[in-house]
């Protein structure tokens, strides 16, 4: 098996290439690996796709960067049965890996390379793929601002999130859209935000989808009506901890569904963030692809999904 480490030199506060090279020094001769440094936006997807087309041998691609780098690698490897995606987090935001215990598990490169491959779901959004969260409205505008802030070395993911929220309070509180889930219209009007999730976390520490599972064949859909700016601070606190789906305070504002397909559309172009990557359009069709991605879970990392699967296997 060949291991490819896809390094995004512009992810995070500095080029992580030396960090990756140093981490791999002790594995020379033990693994067949290659480091590829991306040359610009979209290059990781192109490289992964070309490698998958050239050979049918088993291969792994490790995203060395943040969630944006992981998104690009996923878009190259999705639906490729002979390819698996791993992560060596060294970017400014690493939200998806929190599903499997967080950055600490994925920062041990030996544990990552010795990790087990799991078939997980992936979301297809128009002609793109998304492994963690797709969102529209307030959050997509926040993500757009975060991306701009992170051009400055001072701003890590969490440092960028809060000032981005404050600025978006002035222009992101009201978003007109229509949402259809599995053919049923569930929202039509003035929306604060809408999240379609496969993973649990976004924005560094916000548990946007506390009931999410990456192997249930369903999308977590949560739409929030526009609310008074005076209610926002308390709402953010509840949302950050993942309590919004069970909150009496937010119950009048929340529409929640699990669905296999979702359509979000509006009369004017709007922003949709796919794992933090910004896209603009008037209609986004989101479908879940069960088992559409082979993901490498580091040795020692575990999620409740894995424990449940192990119990089922033992029962059989």
Per-residue model confidence (pLDDT) at position 30: 85
Question: Which residue ranges does the chain devote to CATH 3.40.50.10330?
Answer: 2-121+291-315
Compute the average pLDDT of residues 80-98: 91
- Which residue has tokens 């879940």? 288
pLDDT bin (cut points 50, 70, 90) of residue 286 is: very high
CATH number for the domain formed by residue range(s) 130-289: 2.60.200.40
With beta carbons less than 8 A apart as the criterion, state whether 20 and 88 touch: yes
- At 46-79, the pLDDT tens digits run 999 999 999 999 999 999 999 999 999 999 999 9
- Cα dist from 108 to 19, 97, 131, 202, 298, whole Å: 12, 13, 22, 22, 8
| Contacts of residue 240, Cβ cutoff 8 Å, sequence gap at least 6 | 205, 206, 207
Where do the CATH 2.60.200.40 domains begin and end in the chain?
A: 130-289
Closest CA to 11 of 36, 40, 35, 31: 40
The fraction of the chain above a pLDDT of 90, given in percent, is: 73
* Spatial contact of 192 and 137, defined as CB atoms under 8 Å apart: yes
| Residues 168-193, mean pLDDT to the nearest whole number | 94
**Nearest CA-CA partner of 196 in 139, 268, 270, 118:** 139
Question: Which distant-in-sequence residues (6+ apart) come within 8 Å of 173 by Cβ?
Answer: 138, 192, 226, 229
* Residue that wins the pLDDT comparison between 146 and 213: 213
- For the ranges 49-63, 147-161, 190-204, 291-305, the maximum mean pLDDT occurs at 49-63
Label residues 12-47 b or e (16+ Cβ within 10 Å = b): beeebbebbeebbeeeeeeeebeebbbeeeebbbeb
Strand ranges (E), 1-146: 2-7, 32-37, 59-64, 83-87, 116-125, 128-130, 133-137
| DSSP code of residue 298 | P
As to burial, measured by CB atoms within 10 angstroms (0-12 exposed, 13-18 middle, 19+ buried), residue 81 is: exposed
pLDDT over 60 (residue 236):
yes
pLDDT of 93 above 80? no
Residue 153 or 110, more confident:
110
* Residues in a beta bridge with 44: none
Provide the mean pLDDT of the chain: 90
Average pLDDT over residues 178-207: 94
Q: How confident is the model at residue 155 (pLDDT cuts 50, 70, 90)?
A: low
What pLDDT is attached to residue 1? 92
pLDDT given for residue 169 in this prediction: 85
pLDDT score at 211 = 96
- SS3 at position 267: strand
Return the pLDDT at 314. 39
pTM of the model as a whole: 0.90
Measured distance CA(286)–CA(124) in Å, rounded:
6
Question: What fold, for 2-121+291-315?
Answer: Rossmann fold (3.40.50)
pLDDT in tens, 5-28: 999 998 877 789 999 999 999 888
């Amino acid at each position: 098996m060949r291991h490819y480490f896809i390094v995004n030199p512009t992810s995070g506060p500095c080029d992580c290439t030396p960090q990756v090279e140093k981490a791999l020094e002790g594995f020379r001769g033990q693994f067949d690996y290659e480091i590829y440094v991306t040359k610009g936006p979209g290059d990781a997807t192109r490289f992964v796709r070309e490698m998958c087309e050239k050979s049918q041998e088993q291969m792994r691609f490790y995203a060395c960067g943040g969630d944006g780098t992981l998104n690009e690698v996923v878009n190259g490897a999705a639906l490729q049965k002979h390819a698996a995606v791993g992560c060596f987090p060294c970017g400014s935001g690493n939200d998806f890996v929190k599903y499997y215990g967080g950055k600490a598990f994925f920062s041990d490169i030996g544990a990552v390379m010795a990790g087990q491959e799991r078939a997980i779901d992936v979301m297809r959004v128009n002609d793109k793929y998304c492994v963690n969260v797709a969102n529209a409205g307030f959050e997509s505008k926040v993500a757009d601002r975060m991306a701009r802030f992170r051009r400055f070395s001072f701003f890590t993911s969490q440092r960028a999130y809060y000032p981005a929220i404050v600025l978006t309070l002035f222009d992101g509180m009201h978003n007109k859209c229509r949402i259809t889930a599995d053919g049923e219209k569930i929202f039509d009007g003035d929306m604060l935000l809408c999240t379609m999730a496969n993973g649990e976390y976004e924005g560094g520490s916000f548990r946007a989808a506390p009931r999410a599972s990456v192997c249930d064949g369903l999308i977590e859909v949560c739409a929030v009506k526009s609310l008074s700016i005076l209610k926002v601070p308390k709402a953010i606190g509840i949302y950050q901890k993942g309590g919004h789906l069970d909150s009496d305070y937010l119950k009048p504002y929340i529409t929640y569904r699990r669905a296999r397909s979702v359509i979000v559309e509006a009369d004017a172009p709007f922003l949709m963030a796919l794992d933090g990557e910004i896209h603009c359009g008037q209609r986004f069709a989101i479908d879940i692809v069960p088992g559409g991605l082979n993901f490498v879970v580091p040795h020692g990392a575990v999620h409740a999904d894995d424990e449940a699967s192990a119990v089922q296997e033992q029962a059989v």
